[in-house]
Structure 1
Amino acid sequence: MTPTHSSATAERSAFLGPFHDRREMLLGGILAALAGATGAAAWLYSSGWYVTFMTGNTERMVLENVKGRPHLAVTAAATIVAFLIGVIVATLARLWLWRKARHGATVLTAASTVAAWGADATIYGGHPTLAVAPVLCLAFGLGALNTSISRRGEVVMPLSYVTGTLVKIGQGAALHVAGVRRWAWVAQVTTYAGFLIGAGVGGVGFAVFGVESSLLTLAVFAVAIAFVTWWLDHPGFLVRDVH
């Protein structure tokens, strides 16, 4: 192998990051868009309740008690628990039910958005204490979605962890400028761009269709993404992806 060929191979590997090929990179961007849309819908629906920001929810779980608002601390804790349960359920389902079907996690996410819409339509008006149910459903779905891009049981590309993605973009850009490793930021930018576009789609959905129909719009979008994920699933990297 010549040095030139070796260098080209290394650049291609850095360009793809944790993805097997460009098709999976496209899939990562699409799933990140779903994560962004879900987070935007939850935030707008609840007037400022994040389901993508578990760091902030962890701080709120502690600090709301300090401010004398324990009920808000409870909602933050419930969001974290729902997110964590989503991760656990999707991981176990991947191990036991769909070992060669990555789109199973997206099906869980789509189902959670449908459940959120159903909860909003049936219990919000008559049962104010259960008004948190739609947002907790979305948190569960995001936890499940984040297990989609994994290798041997380990997540290699989180889809809603934007802080970590930005750190890797910045580090990859610095390595590129320094000539240490070229194009290492591209895969992360793809995921970040997908999340950003998805957040915009979620925001526009609320503006166009209104609060009453926003969760239904998100559910339709999530179901469509589940079908796209099924179509993009590639048997070659699914086999290598199995625990």
Structure 2
Amino acid sequence: MEYRRITGIEDPLFKQMHQLMQNVFPPEEVLEFDLWKEPLKDSGIRVFVAVYEGNVVGATEYRYYEDFNVAMTDFTIIGQAGLGIGRFLAENRREDLLSLAEANGKRLSGMFAEIYDPYRVGHYEFGGVKPMDPYVRREVLSHLGFKRIDFPYVHPSWNNDGEAVSGLDLCFLPMNDHFEELPAGLIVRFLKRYYAVLPNKPRAWIEMVEDLGAKEAVALRPI
């Protein structure tokens, strides 16, 4: 299996990856094909696919913020069972992020991720791919060490229609097991940076960020 980076929508592997996203994720979670053109040019956005026998069977997108010394996992897709795709992607992503932090003269602090909560919203099918089942994914991410950031979370729809998307938790994977909370200011700065690409912010998201800004820290809880 190969770990291949995608840097443009002209790459034939990107077309396969985008189709895989549409097969797996709800429509409001998938950025339109042409809108990927500029993000893929951004050296800070790292999109990799797992290629097996010439086909894209998995993908992951993530980024490293040098000034925050944290990463964000945008998504991880496992296209089929029985190939060890999840472990393959997680290990290669981790190695890449540790190298990026080292080049920045630091040790990676941790990584954010949005995680579906099927105990609140149970209708996600994720293309019928069993490894992508939200119950399975949530438990796997718990095993990896992710923790739920303890506040009610919504995010702007990637349709950029001003709608708030709920049914997820914002989580964090601390590289130091002794982390029990995160500075609220870090969360606010991260969310503003991450969602700067979407101009139509829902009122619920704005109020959420304002509430976070009034706090000093937010607890990390098990998922």
Question: TM-score scaled by structure 2?
Answer: 0.25
The answer to which structure has the higher helix fraction is 1
Report 1 or 2 for greater relative contact order, CA contacts < 8 Å, sequence distance ≥ 6: 1
Question: TM-score scaled by structure 1?
Answer: 0.23
Q: Which has the larger radius of gyration?
A: 1
